[in-house]
Structure formats: C-alpha cells, structure tokens
Amino acid sequence: LMGRHCGHITLNAAIAANYVDICLLPEMDIDLQKVLDHTEQLMRTKGHAVIVIAEGCGDTIVSASGETDAGGNKQLADVGTYLKDEITAHFKTLKLPLTIKFIDPTYMIRSVAANSFDSVFCSVLAQNAVHGAMAGFSGITIGRLNSRYVYLPIHAITKQKGKNVDVKGKSFLNLVSSTKQPDFTPVGAERPQSARGSSGVDVLDFLSVPASINNVLRVGDEVKRLDVVRLATMFPSAMVPNPLGVNGFVGASAWTTQTLQQFNRRQGQGHQYFQMVTAGPREYLHFRPEDSTAVIVNCGGLCPGLNAVIRELVMMLAAYGVKTIYGCKGGYKGLVSPEKWVVLTPKSVEQIHTLGGSVLVSDRGNPPHSEIAKSLRSMGVKQYFVLGGDGTHKGGMQTFDAMQELEEGPYECAVVGVPKTIDNDICMLDKTFGFNTAVTEAEKAIDAAYVEACARDNCISVVKLMGRHCGHITLNAAIAANYVDICLLPEMDIDLQKVLDHTEQLMRTKGHAVIVIAEGCGDTIVSASGETDAGGNKQLADVGTYLKDEITAHFKTLKLPLTIKFIDPTYMIRSVAANSFDSVFCSVLAQNAVHGAMAGFSGITIGRLNSRYVYLPIHAITKQKGKNVDVKGKSFLNLVSSTKQPDFTPVGAERPQSARGSSGVDVLDFLSVPASINNVLRVGDEVKRLDVVRLATMFPSAMVPNPLGVNGFVGASAWTTQTLQQFNRRQGQGHQYFQMVTAGPREYLHFRPEDSTAVIVNCGGLCPGLNAVIRELVMMLAAYGVKTIYGCKGGYKGLVSPEKWVVLTPKSVEQIHTLGGSVLVSDRGNPPHSEIAKSLRSMGVKQYFVLGGDGTHKGGMQTFDAMQDIDYECSVIGIPKTIDNDISLLDTSFGFDTASTEAAKAIESAYVESTTNANCIGLVKLMGRHCGFIATHATLAARVVDVCLIPEMAVSQDKLLDYIAEVMRKKKHAVIVVAEGCGDTILSSDAGQTDAGGNKVLADVGPYLKDAITGHFKKLGMPLSIKYIDPTYMIRSVPANAYDNLYCATLAQQAVHGAMAGYSGISVGKVDERYVMLPVHAVTKEGTRCVDVKGRTYERLIATTKQPSFAP
C-alpha cells in the first residue's frame, strides 16, 4: 500500500480489515528473518496468511537506489516484490508448499471519488477556506483539530516534521492487538514497544495522551490556598532533625489540591478548588521532643475509634521521644481540674483500641478558655490534641486564641484537632472516623428488622437511627442492607400522608415492610419542643415512636391487620470498638496529627480529602455548614433505586434549604488566598488522558433519553483528574497525573433498553461482595428497562454452554447479597474468545459484564477484540475483583475491607491463644500471593502483632528466628502473621507447577515457619507451644460487610450506566474517592500494586509491630 514516509494508510486499513496477520510500516525497525520465521509459523498453524506492507519499507527493509523522481522524491525500491521473493525463497529452502498472491493497488486507492464522509469533510473545508479568504486571512491553511475547524499559519505545517505512526502509541498498540504479530525489532535494537512488567515502559503513559491546562482547569475555575498557622512565624523554632526513620519526609511547602472535575455547566460558571497543606512527617521539628509535654482530651458524644486515636497519639508521641503524655478525663472541664490529668504510656494504652467508648471519660460543656489556657501553661503543655466535633474544635481555637492573650505573654503550644462525628457531616472531608463502624452496626439493626418483618404475618419493622442534622448513617445503612422499603431523612421534605399511603400499598402487595428513619426527622415530620441538652443541642421529638403510632392509627382506621416491631439501636451503633477499617483510619489520623504538632503547625485539624491526608485550618470546618445528604445527588438516587420508594414531597412544595451553619458568607473563600497555576502544577508535571472506547464511534447510536429520574446527568465530556500534590523533588522532576472519564448516568443512551440483552459472568477466586455486585447489576439494568438479563455459571467456559445461562430477575436476586461466594458459580480458564464472541452474538447480548481480576479483564478485552472481528456491537464492562487490593490506580478493590476485617479476627484469636497459654506463639497465615496488603492492614487493625511478614520484604530466616526467641524471652508470648506469598520468598516454590488459573503453586509457608520456629526453640532448649491458625478461604467466602456492600452497589450501578451509554472495554473503579471509567488495559497492563517497603503504610506497620529489619 501507499505510504512513502509513514504508515497511516497501511495501519488503519489493516485494523479496519481485522484479518491481517503481519503489517509492516516504515516507522518500524524490522529484522526480515524474524518476519520470515513468523510467516512460517503462521502457515504451519493456520495454513494461510495475509501480509500488508507500506511502500516506504522500500527504504528500510531494502535499500533504495538513491535516485529521485521528477518531483525530487527519492525513488524507493519495490518492497512488495522483494518481500514476495524473500518469502518464496525461504519456503523453498524449508521445502514447504506455498502459493503467494501479490496485490499492488497503489494508485487505485487515490484515484477514486470521495466516500460520503470525505465528501462532507471536503465541503466543510472548502466553505471555511472561502470564509477565511473573504475575511482577509492570508498565508493560512484550513484544518480540523479537536473536532473544531481552525485556521493555521501555513508555516505551522510546512516547517514541522510530518506526522508518523508512533510505534509506542495507541494506534500501533491497536494494530498489534489486531494482528497478534510479535516484535520484529532486531536483537540489540531498541524495541518499538513493550509490555509493562518485562521492560520499563509506562503502560499508562503508553495508553494516554497529554491534556492541556485548559482541560484541567476550565474558564472560571479557581484554585485557592487554605494555609495554616505555623508557630515558627510567632516563636523561635528549635529546627531539630526528625528522629523517625522515615523514607522521604513531606516537604515544608507540600500542598495537595482537590480532585479537579469537569462538570455540566454553562460557559463562565467556574468551580472553586482548594489547596491544603499535605499531612505527614517533616524533616525538621519545631519542638524538641525531650522538652515537650502533650495532653489529649475528647469532648462530646462517643464514637467508635476514640480509643484507637488516643492509643496511636500516645504511641507516635513516644516514637518522637516525648516523655510526658497526659490524658484528661471529663472533657474540657477536666483540663482545669488537676486530679483529672492522668499519665498515658505506650504500655497503659496498648490494648485500649479493643474497647468501645473512651478511656478518657467524655463530657460536654467547658469552663472559660482563658482558664484552660492558664492550666495548659502551668502544666508546660506544648502539644494539645482535641478529639471532637464542631463544638470541640471551636473550643480548641478559642483556647488557642486565649493562649496568645495571657498576661505573661503569648504561650507557644500546638493545638491540633482530630474531627470526631459518626454523622460524617464535616464538609470537604471524605469521611470521619467511626462512621464506617456505625453504618455497619446500623445495618445489623436493619437485618434484625427484616427478619422480624418477614417472620410474622402483616408485620412492619421500624428502625430509628442516629443522625440529628443529616441522614448519612441512615442512607448508607439502608443501601448496604438492601431490603429497606422506606427510608426517611432529615433532608427530605415529607408529606406524612404519602408515607402512610405507600406503607399501606406495600402491606397490601408484599405483606411486610421495613422502614428506616433518622432521628433528625424529629424536627421535620414532627415539631421539636425547643428545649436544649447539656451540649446546647436542640432536643428532638422521638420520631420513631411517633411514626409507629401514626402507622398503627392509619391501619386501624383502614381496619387492616398489623404488627409493628420497633427497633431503636441509637447508642449501640456508637459505643462499640472501631472495626478494621476505622481502626486503621484512626491510626493514620493520629499519626499525622502528631507529625503536624511536632512540626509546629497549630490551629489545625487533620482529615482525609480525595484519599489524601491534609491539614486544614480549624475554621475551615467550624465556620462552614455541615455536609448534608444532597436529595438531588447520586447517593440519594442510589437510595431510591434500592428502596423503590416514591417521592414523598408535599404537593407544590420545594425542598427547604438546610439552615445549619453560619450565614451565607463563603468562609473558605474568606480564609484562602488565590494560588497561581505554577502552584498547582510544577515544572515537569504532566496531565494525561486515559480515554475509553465509545461504541458510537463504531456503530450508529440510538441516542434515546435516559429513562432514570436523575437530577443532573454526567456530561458526555466529563473528566476527573487525579489529586494534584507537590512532593519533595528536585527542580524539573515532574509527576504524571491522569484524567479519567467520570462515571455516572448519561443523558442519552447508546442502546435502547427494550432491545437489550445483558449477561453477567464472574471468573477466578471468590471475593466478598460478588453477590452484591450481581444483585445491583440486575437491579440497575431492570431500572433502565432491560428485559432479558442472564447470569452465566462456570466462568468463561459457561458462556459457550447454553445450559449454563440462567435468567436473573430482580426477584431472584433480591436476597443474594446476604450470601457469601457467588450464585454464578465461578471457575478459571476459558475457551477461545472467538467462540465466546459468537455465543454472545447468538444470544443477542448487548451488555456484557465481567467480574474478576487481571486475567478476567484480559479475557474480556480479548472477547471484545473478537467481537470486532465479526463486527458485533456489544459493550464490554469489567468490575475489578480481588481481595488482595493490588490493582494500580484504584483506591481499593471491593471485598478488601471485609477480608481485612475477617483476617483481623483471626489475629485476635491468635492473641487470645498466645496470652492464655504458657510460652505460646499464635501464628496466622493470611492470603496474599504477590502482595501483603491484607496481612498489613489486618496487623494494623489488630495492633497485637509482634512480627508481620509480607512477600515484599527481604527476610533472613536466621535473623527472624533470633528475634522471635528474643520476644519470647521478654514477653513469654507472641503473635506472628505471615502472608502466603512468603511461600515464594522465605522458601522456594516449585517453579514449574501452576494451578488451573495459571498461577504458580506456592510452598505452604505456614507449616514451614511453624516447624522452623519449633526446631529453633528446641535447639535453644526453650519451652514453646505454637497455635497455628490458617483462615485462608474463610476471609473471602463471607458476605460483604456494610462498607463493601455499599461500594459494590455503587460500582455495579456505574458499570450499568457506562454500558447503557455505549462505553466499552472499560473497568469501573474509585480513584481518589471519585468513580471513574478506566480503559481495561490501564488495569491489566499497569502491573499489580505491592506494599511499598519505603512508604508510609509500611512505616506504620513497623511502628505497630516494633519489629526490626530482617533483611539479609
């Protein structure tokens, strides 16, 4: 084919044809012998082959004569006939039969009339050329760039090099994916492309394209800095080196920018983003640790995780070298009572994280802040930690101000808040500690209510949950439980009669119902008395009993039989110990609070925003309105999708705005200062787009309106940019960020729901939450109007067996989320993807959902490619599944939180065994073939582990055994956790043995380590008992917990939104707390994520276990 200097024609024609076996371009570096060998292999296996070559290879594969034609162009050797002769000679040497059919259409492809696309394109180009000329533009050329027609100076195209095929670009990747040809680069030459893992090529970089600053920040957007108080600007700084053995400190000028998003908005409607000080340890300290005294106080209501925060504050202060650490009992009032000050030590707080409540007895109210300031001064306090909500933080700032106004002069003390509220209503922050645990406990109450409702005739269960001003707990627990019929929140405007009428309808049709109501409705559905409690909060009417009485009266009037079971778990959900997720979260918050205090930051609170830990000025949370449930937002849409409840708004009413917070003044705007673009992106930084396949570019789109009642669809060109951070780096060392397509419902659908058929398949190992994903896929497809939904049993192999296809309906999947495992029996391995593609076509499948890990996603893409070979239109959507949490880019994978929680239970059992048997070691082996995330997080959550071994660590067995003996001499008990992947590091596995999924079979490191420890102690003559626990499959076979249940539901909903909008070859996930659609290759070719043994999480692990390095 034509193409003297570039292979664009050849490449695009080969991809379009989709049955080319070898495609050779001028841009490729080609070893002819490799081409001949691959041709031979094709003929031996297939019996036929199609080879396409660009004429420009007449100056690469073979040398041109050097002569020129009449136009001054170099005359090229005729590479077509040359290649034909070389192949013929090669096969003759091998004595293999061969016929070659040579086609040279060269001039034919350019002498024909334009097709319809080019005909229209030519018309528009010509019209715009005339427009430009008549307007007086000159020296221009007309072209189309980014789907917009533009005038360019002629020099812009004549003085640049021509555009060649980028052999490291996406188009060439698509070519290789189509032809399946190997790399023809000569040995020793630089490869034109390589897969991640075998060489150093960055696949994400390979898959993405750069985004301009206009694609990152739109017109009207603004970035502002929320700076914090630095005591070094007010008092002399000690500037002592940080004593922690940290791999990489956070820079003194390190900032984190909120995740940037492109919304649906009118031109000029900008969005305000904020930069915040990045949390973490600094290289130099403001305070000398040996001269420091710290105090911790908590106020207000209880919250799961309070003791975990207190424990970790003490542990980290001690790690810095702070000798005197107090805890103050009784809240702020205790600060002015010396008898309430108790000394806290690492030993005294070692086990408090296992307890609910707070060892520092909480209370409300406070004495004058000037008295608190004097008391802190008299005790020599330099680091003052306040744990509480809005009122506690306000009090902390008032004390900070009072310290600057003391008669003796300003007092130097870091005031650091750790925000505490189970309501999760603090603006800007992703979530607050304790919220996850509270939702989990609330879900248990709803589970009990459902059992009660179903176990009696004509029964309604009513559950009242905490949430004074907002309904976050109630909403999340209702979605997680997945069988609530009515959910009422304080943010809703509610016509009680509509609620009663819908309750009646439910009872007439179902015979039972579950109703969940937030306590804050005691100030909306019914009027509160106006009285206040000790903390100054309005006393609410008891809306639970009120609603129960109203329903009872309504049914009595209708003469309908009814039993009501009322459950009010209110204080139960906050008085428990933190679960695994919150336990780790509390640790990180506390550690960063100490880092900030020792560095001399003050008047700050620590929080997580877009998955990054930051320091915020306290005013940023105390002077803003609380974060309410947006009844026009996605979360509320998910709730309605789950409950199927109608709109309860009174006729003609508008939802009232929340009055919570201060006036309409924009506090953040007032507290912040503008940041220049150079403070957002540094020299060398780059933002690149990870685009995805849109079927509308390949097939006609139905463009039908979305039938979902959504308030605000996601724009067709909506993008989410990763959180921008400023790191410690030398000038010019840039960082690469990615923009990803924002997930969510689109205004117009590519497919007509009524003409659609969907199928769901899961492959590989089990994972908590599989059934929750399957359930929500079915529910959301049904909500769109898809009539035929299949589930395929037996993984990919089941797709080619019609008897494995089962019909799924909302009714059949209603309760499956309560089960572990998968109702679609999983399996490994797969038939040819061409057969799967044909099977999907024969069943008329338009939406194909694959649930699995790396291999499953690769298989999904191979089937997608196979469907293109047969020109079949089908959306292929992946939902990444792995309890290992090792998928790059994603915050977490579903099931990981549940698995870590179950793993922590095994560790706690090992601790009980080790401490209640003489000279005992509790040894736990946990899952984690290639990475140690489960072992690490479970260890951090349990906090009782002495040694944790993960595959990422280098381990000398002698050092390990000696340290275990040392621990047993000192403590007489120990807990050891080892990840299964150490079966390929501590000892060697059989390199050639693999399982059905192609995974290497690992040596069983648990019994091996048990035997090695036993033998070592026998040599030492030391008494020993080992209790070995291997919960391996138990941690993955359970149902999802509340957090994972909710996460699974959202992932599934986003997957369906993407499929119906015509996206394909994508995987859905959460990146920096935002749901996005990623190209599958970004998941499969990026390589798995491992625990960074130089990172913060690993440092926390070592700080928890106190273990030394075991490196040889």
Q: Which residues are catalytic?
A: 884
Nearest CA to 688 out of 151, 20, 34, 213 is that of 213
- Beta strands (DSSP E) in 229-330 are 229-230, 240-241, 255-257, 260-261, 272-278, 284-285, 293-298, 324-328
| Residue 98 amino acid letter | L
**828: its two tokens:** 């490994």
Nearest CA to 326 out of 378, 362, 289, 379 is that of 379
Phi-psi bin for 698: left (phi > 0), alpha (psi -120 to 50), beta?
alpha
Decide: 893 and 880 in contact? Cβ < 8 Å. yes
* Cα 68 to Cα 962: distance, rounded to the nearest angstrom: 78
Q: What is the DSSP letter of 844?
A: T
Q: What is the DSSP string of 885-948?
A: --BSS-S--BTHHHHHHHHHHHHHHHHHHHHSSTTEEEEEEE--SS--HHHHHHHHHH---SEE
Burial class of residue 1008, CB neighbours in 10 A (0-12, 13-18, 19+)? middle
DSSP H or E run through 152: strand 148-153
Decide: 1081 and 887 in contact? Cβ < 8 Å. no
**1084: its two tokens:** 């499969």
**819: its two tokens:** 């089960």
* Cα 302 to Cα 362: distance, rounded to the nearest angstrom: 7
* Cα 1089 to Cα 751: distance, rounded to the nearest angstrom: 35
Which residue shows structure tokens 């050849």?
A: 10
* Cα 975 to Cα 923: distance, rounded to the nearest angstrom: 6
- Beta strands (DSSP E) in 336-388 are 341-343, 383-388
Decide: 689 and 615 in contact? Cβ < 8 Å. no
Residue 455 C-beta-side C-alpha neighbours within 13 Å? 8
* Cα 654 to Cα 632: distance, rounded to the nearest angstrom: 12
Cα-Cα end-to-end distance for the chain: 59
Residue 439 C-beta-side C-alpha neighbours within 13 Å? 29
* Cα 219 to Cα 1103: distance, rounded to the nearest angstrom: 46
**1037: its two tokens:** 């076979």
Q: What is the DSSP letter of 330?
A: T
Nearest CA to 286 out of 319, 239, 241 is that of 239
Nearest CA to 12 out of 206, 193, 185, 174 is that of 174
Decide: 1016 and 935 in contact? Cβ < 8 Å. no
- Beta strands (DSSP E) in 471-526 are 486-488, 512-518
* Cα 183 to Cα 193: distance, rounded to the nearest angstrom: 8
- Beta strands (DSSP E) in 808-866 are 847-852
* Cα 822 to Cα 851: distance, rounded to the nearest angstrom: 11
* Cα 850 to Cα 881: distance, rounded to the nearest angstrom: 10
DSSP H or E run through 740: strand 736-742
Q: What is the DSSP letter of 339?
A: G
Decide: 434 and 304 in contact? Cβ < 8 Å. yes
Burial class of residue 731, CB neighbours in 10 A (0-12, 13-18, 19+)? exposed
Decide: 1005 and 987 in contact? Cβ < 8 Å. yes
- Residue 508: CB partners within 8 Å, gap ≥ 6? none
